[in-house]
């Protein structure tokens, strides 16, 4: 790369850079895909599971089911990773991630529905207490 290429990516230099970027990304992707699960990937899913616990997913029957699935799939992903089956491990980890997310959202939805129902009940109570016509003395 001559001096001109260092200063600006134009002409032949730009062509070289356009090839170099995708090739590098593809290489890294393949390297990652072929390898074991990283700690960051596992920690991220683990964090989702902890978050689901924090919002009380284990107390909601439907959310608890998905939380259990997420926990089991996380363990399975770790096992697959340990056995060298990186691609299956990543796919299983993704399943664990979406299950944990679903557990969180379902738990929040249940709570929000209860709060909305309570708010509606209060509105109805106030509406019932309010007289239809009021006479001013």
Partner 1 sequence: MKRIHLKQKCQISLAAMSFACALACVKQVPSQQLVNARAYFEQAQRAPATQYALDSLYEAKRSLDEAEEAHEEDPNSYRELSLAYVAERKAQLAMARGGLAYAIDVKRNSERALVDRQQALLEMTRKDAAAVSNQLNIQAVQLQQTQTALEQERAAREVETSAQAVWASLGDIARVRSDISSTTITLDGAVMFPAGRATLLPAANDTLNRVARSIADIAPGATLKVVGHTDNQGNAANNQKLSLARAQRVADYLVQQGLDPSRIEALGVGEQFAATTNDTPEGRANNRRVELVVQQAVPSGLGSPGTVCADGKAAVPKALPPSPPVGDTNPIPIATETTPENTVVAPSRGSVH
CB 55 within 8 A of CB 108: yes
CB of 33 to partner 1, least distance (A): 11
Pick between residue 82 and residue 109 the one whose CB is nearest to partner 1: 109
Pick between residue 12 and residue 84 the one whose CB is nearest to partner 1: 84
DSSP string, 63-109: HHHHHHHHHHHHHHHHHHHHTT-HHHHHHHHHHHHHHHHHHHHHHHH
Site string for partner 1, 71-90 (x = CB under 8 A): ----------------xx--
CB of 106 to partner 1, least distance (A): 5
Does 41 engage in binding with partner 1 (CB under 8 A)? no
Does 112 engage in binding with partner 1 (CB under 8 A)? yes
Provide the angle, in degrees to the nearest 10, between the axes of the packed helices 86-129 and 39-54. Answer: 20
Does 106 engage in binding with partner 1 (CB under 8 A)? yes
Name every residue whose Cβ is closer than 8 Å to that of residue 81 and which is 6 or more positions away in sequence.
Answer: 36, 37, 89
One residue of 2, 7, 130, 133 binding partner 1 per CB under 8 A: 130
Tell me which DSSP letter residue 135 carries.
Answer: -
The encoded tokens of residue 36 equal 């074991």
Q: Rule CB under 8 A: which residues touch partner 1?
A: 87-88, 91-92, 94-95, 98-99, 101-102, 105-106, 108-109, 112-113, 115-116, 119-120, 122-123, 126-127, 129-130, 134, 136-137
């Amino acid at each position: 790369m001559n001096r001109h290429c260092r200063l600006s990516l134009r002409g032949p230099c730009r062509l070289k850079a356009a090839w170099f970027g995708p090739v590098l990304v593809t290489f890294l992707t393949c390297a990652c895909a072929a390898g074991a699960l990283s700690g960051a990937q596992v920690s991220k899913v683990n964090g989702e599971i902890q978050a689901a616990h924090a919002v009380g997913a284990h107390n909601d029957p439907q959310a608890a089911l998905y939380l259990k699935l997420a926990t089991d799939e996380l363990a399975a992903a770790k096992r697959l990773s340990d056995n060298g089956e990186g691609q299956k491990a990543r796919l299983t980890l993704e399943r664990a991630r979406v299950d944990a997310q679903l557990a969180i959202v379902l738990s929040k939805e249940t709570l929000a529905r209860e709060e909305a129902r309570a708010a509606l009940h209060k509105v109805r109570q106030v509406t019932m207490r309010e007289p239809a016509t009021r006479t001013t003395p």
